[in-house]
Amino acid sequence: MELKELQKRIRDIRKNSRREEKKGLIAVWKEKDRFNKEIVDSFVMIFRTKGCRWAYHSGCSMCGYFNDTNPKIREEELLAQIEEAKKKYGGEQLIKVFTSGSFLDDWEVPKNVREKLYDTFSSAKRIIVESRPEYITQEKIEELSSRQNVMVALGLESANNETLIYRINKGFTVEDYVRAAELLLRNDIPVKTYILLKPPFMTERKAINEAIYSVKFASKYSEVVSVNPMNVQNYTLVEYLWRRGEYRAPWLWSVVEVLKRTVEVGAEVVSYPTAGGTKRGAHNCGRCDKKVMKSILNFSLTQDEKYLNELECSCKKKWRKIVENEDYVWDYTVNS
Ligand code: SF4
Ligand SMILES: [Zn+2]
């Protein structure tokens, strides 16, 4: 698909979304995670902001985060969300902040809101915030350096520019990621990177190989690389393709394969598949999904490969066949 056509489709599909003018946090919960090679409790909060600036301009083909944003949200309402989160905070060591966009974008999260968040949770050992690379500037480096406990998560998705441009419409390139990651690292700010498993317009085999390549690439810059298997979100191009039978979320076997083949890359490689085991998320045959999901989570928390090695189910054969043969069918369909 041509880039202009891709961007138009993404925008057209999104127009059907009905956003409500809610003002509170989107969600808060607690979960286990890894920090300093140990399993710790983490506190997760999703802020309701105006959303991602890129999503107003164009947006990524799989991203439905805009569904929960409020374009009219005011600064005092963002500050009130921090108060709301504070009441639920129980002293967890690790804090994960999501905004459906970029925490470091001044337009989305003003500086004093960020400062208030750092101050409120200053006792946490680590606060992870997300940002697109273009907001990693010298000014932000100074802000983050003065805090010592902040890690920046960058959603690279793929280390292949062709995928970033024509499959995801990411709006930045691998080189932009490298610039941002190097600037963070030069200033001792730890980096986490997200890699997307199975963007649209790609076979299962290619998706596995590209994710492995991307994890290896990102591990040069990251303390943690998180493999995020696609989940089909509302009002996205991926959902449109999925409804037409032209997209299937990856197999959980593919997640296992990527994790197995990247165990020694240097960075910790983890995966917590959103909607895993459902039709919209990474899934297998239905019978083994729970077991495989549990093993993926156990591996992610412990980094112990044994959890990935003992998995079996009759559907693994079907998955193997797809991995081996889908490319031929795909080439035939696309080129005939
Ligand atoms: S950059 Fe992130 S938040 Fe923005 S549209 Fe893409 S996936 Fe969504
Ligand atoms: Zn199975």
Q: Read off the pLDDT of residues 137-190 as tens digits, 9 standing for 90 and up.
A: 999 999 999 998 999 999 999 999 999 999 999 999 999 999 999 999 999 999
pLDDT for res 333: 59
156 in contact with ligand 1, CB cutoff 6 A: no
Side-chain half-sphere exposure of 99, counting CA atoms within 13 A = 31
Dist. CA 185–CA 167, nearest whole Å = 29
Q: Which atom of ligand 1 is nearest to the CA of 65?
A: 8
pLDDT for res 80: 97
Q: Which atom of ligand 1 is nearest to the CA of 168?
A: 6
Dist. CA 97–CA 308, nearest whole Å = 29
pLDDT for res 9: 87
pLDDT of 49 above 70: yes
Closest CA to 124 of 209, 40, 233: 40
Q: Give distance in angstroms: CA of 14 to centre of ligand 1.
A: 13
Report which protein residue has its CA nearest ligand 1's atom 3: 101
Q: Which atom of ligand 1 is nearest to the CA of 59?
A: 5
pTM (2 d.p.): 0.95
Report which protein residue has its CA nearest ligand 1's atom 8: 63
pLDDT-derived band at 21 (thresholds 50, 70, 90) equals confident
Report which protein residue has its CA nearest ligand 1's atom 4: 52
pLDDT for res 43: 98
pLDDT of 334 above 70: no
- Convert the pLDDT of each residue in 278-303 to its tens digit: 999 999 999 999 999 999 999 999 99
Q: What is the mean pLDDT of residues 26-53?
A: 95
60 in contact with ligand 1, CB cutoff 6 A: yes
64 in contact with ligand 1, CB cutoff 6 A: no
Q: Which atom of ligand 1 is nearest to the CA of 52?
A: 4
Q: Give distance in angstroms: CA of 282 to centre of ligand 1.
A: 20
pLDDT for res 67: 86
pLDDT for res 173: 98
Q: Give distance in angstroms: CA of 234 to centre of ligand 1.
A: 14
- Show me where the domains of the chain are located: 3-335
pLDDT of 335 above 60: no
Query: What whole-number percentage of the chain has pLDDT above 70?
Result: 98
Q: Can you spell out the DSSP letters for 230-259?
A: ----TTSHHHHHHHTT---PPPHHHHHHHH
Closest CA to 256 of 287, 231, 289, 233: 289
Q: Give distance in angstroms: CA of 300 to centre of ligand 2.
A: 20
Q: Which atom of ligand 1 is nearest to the CA of 155?
A: 2
54 in contact with ligand 1, CB cutoff 6 A: yes
Q: What angle do CA 278, 153, 266 make, to 5 degrees?
A: 90
Report which protein residue has its CA nearest ligand 1's atom 6: 60
Closest CA to 217 of 272, 146, 156: 156
Q: What is the mean pLDDT of residues 13-22?
A: 78
Asked if 192 contacts 152 with a C-beta cutoff of 8 angstroms, the reply is yes
If DSSP codes are grouped into helix, strand and coil, which group holds residue 204? helix
Q: What's the first-to-final CA gap in the chain, in angstroms?
A: 16
Q: Which ligand is nearest to the CA of 108?
A: 1
pLDDT of 62 above 70: yes
133 in contact with ligand 1, CB cutoff 6 A: no
If DSSP codes are grouped into helix, strand and coil, which group holds residue 35? strand
pLDDT for res 2: 81
> Which of 10, 47, 65, 103, when mutated, tests ligand 1's pocket best, judged by the most ligand atoms within 8 Å of its CB?
65
> Which of 26, 50, 54, 232, when mutated, tests ligand 1's pocket best, judged by the most ligand atoms within 8 Å of its CB?
54
- Structural domain 3-335, CATH architecture: Alpha-Beta Barrel (3.20)
Report which protein residue has its CA nearest ligand 1's atom 2: 101
Strands 38-46 and 94-98: parallel
Q: What is the mean pLDDT of residues 24-34?
A: 95
pLDDT of 66 above 90: no
Q: Can you spell out the DSSP letters for 132-194?
A: -GGG--HHHHHHHHTTSSEEEEEEEE-S-HHIIIIII--SS-HHHHHHHHHHHHHTT--EEEE
pLDDT of 211 above 60: yes
Dist. CA 251–CA 272, nearest whole Å = 14
- Convert the pLDDT of each residue in 218-277 to its tens digit: 999 999 999 999 999 999 999 999 999 999 999 999 999 999 999 999 999 999 999 999
